[in-house]
Structure 1
Amino acid sequence: MTEIRIQNLTKRFGDVTALNDISIDFPSGSFTSLLGASGCGKTTLLRLIAGFEVPDGGQLSFGDEFIADAKSQKKPEERGVGVVFQSYALWPHMDVAANVAYPLKTRKVGKDEITSRVAAVLDSVGLDGYAKRGIEELSGGQRQRVALARCLVADAKIILFDEPLANLDMHLRASMVEAFRDIHSRTRATIVYVTHDQSEALALSDRIAVMSSGNILQIASPLEVYHSPSDRKVAGFIGRGTVVSGAVVRRNGSSMVVDIGGTQVTARGHVVGTDSVHVLLRPEAIALADQGLDAVVRESTYRGPVHETWLELANGERLTIDSPHLLPLGSKVHVAVSDAWIIP
């Protein structure tokens, strides 16, 4: 297992700063997702780790081993890093076994050892019996498994994923999420996973780094990022929910009583120096009740198990609730709050 250490890393493309003096460690055996909208810098960070880009400032190391700074860099092939691309990057003129064996052949590994290691790794990714298949004969999910097997056969201690499921349909993506989790639990490789899909990040990772404009806004466990976002940007990007304004009525150590539209709600978190706060309300933490926040039904979208409903509060702000039944537009309702988070 290998730790990745990044100190004050900066990368520019002309006048655009893709990464802005960021520092982050990826502990050995961790699974970290880099999450953010297009252009936030997550793929640039991945390419710097892989060696496909050169930093303009800062330093990158694997454990105590120097890897790169602005003056000198180890070549990609010297880093022992496996990369799984969105495009799979497989050779169509080779069969499955040849694609997987390629890293071993470049290292002059013996033929018998190559055969046994390829067979073992294909079995580990659920492709036993596919060794002689052509790449064009495979589904998207199977091709992604071949790309993963190619990393595993080389015993890569660091595996980088660049939006690997973006080209797959919903059902294939679900099966590949399970495959990635299984591979990580068995190999304990240090994994860095780039995605803009928050559901993938929440399901796969033990840590999520939320990025925006070349900066890291928050790095924490999926549970903490979801339930206790560090600012409004993270709150707006992770999960569904609404940020509403409130006024502090009473402080209770690590929680506060906040007035939202004339109704008092207990909220997690603590701020000092102001009584005006912003509170995050998740749909699963609010429900229709006999008393609570006064609201009017404004819009509704059927999502299958629930009707995603937009309510307007007395102060004109809106929040989202999941209702098992269709609520008449314009009807007045009351909403009880079981959990709320005061955004720092």
Structure 2
Amino acid sequence: MRLNQDTPQDADGPHVLVRTEGRAGFLTLNRPRALNALTHAMVLGIDEALTAWEDDPAVETVVIQGAGARGLCAGGDIRAIYEDARAGGTETLGFWRDEYRLNARIARYPKPYVALMDGIVMGGGVGVSAHGSVRVVTERSRVAMPETGIGFVPDVGGTYLLSRTPGELGTHLALTGAQADAADALLTGLADHFVPSEDLPGLAEELTRAPAHEVLPRFARTAPPGRLAAARDWIDTAYTAPTVEEVIDRLLDSGITEAKESATTLLSRSPTALKVTLAALRRARVMDSLEAVLAVEFRLSHAALTSADLVEGIRAQVIDKDRAPRWTPATLAEVTEADVAAYFAERALP
């Protein structure tokens, strides 16, 4: 199968490579110099392939992977979002709409969807992998939702996934943007199997010949120890607090170095994004479907697109790289309940 001729290309070739081999269909995100960041056309290309394969009896398993050695996908195309937001545009809304629909489709896909989550897997990369039915991490995996660092809120179903982790581990990951290694991803339910990175080519080859449920047990190993299991007590104690301010107070009062470092991280994040994220996680925890959570996340994303913090956060982290964002408001105390509620309000689409 080939993508249509409108698929964007650059020096690396088409941005999504689509092929079938034996019993498997392979999707390779192919923007290695951009860490395979997702564009709107890539989302549509993935969806096109899933449509073609859904009723194709020759394709028994779908495999998604990233080109290059650095990772599956670092997220959405942040620079494109920045330029659109600065110009007051609305193209990003169309991207998010189709991306979130794709996330929901992946979660409900009727065939095994095997995500090879090697290396960097962040933001939109989590969306095209962690909703799959078979999620594979390696010793190189770094899985994260780092949105609060750019004045944004975890999306692509991130609040759904992170609200369902043991205890408050997901709250910690969502607010700080901390990276989960292989063991942490397994513990939090963001992944299912650990396979050494050197064995991924063999795993992919075997999936062309046999079903995933037969192949994975031959490759799965025990992951190296992670960090979150040992930190569970102080994480649960701090992040059950009702407000972000109290979370930070508990972290600082814990007497634990790692907890204090997490507090310092939180104090560098967008105050508005932190408060909206905490509210979104707690709403998502009691919602009964991914689709319902994605609908809420779309409202939050829509609100963020017109906020000062998203543009400023991307400027500081990606464009100018001065790592000194000037948040508006600048402090947690200045972010009111009304400010948070406004993010959840219905908005008319342009």
Normalization by structure 1: what TM-score?
Answer: 0.30
Answer with 1 or 2: which has the greater Rg: 1
Normalization by structure 2: what TM-score?
Answer: 0.29
Give the number of the structure whose residues are more often helix, by fraction.
2
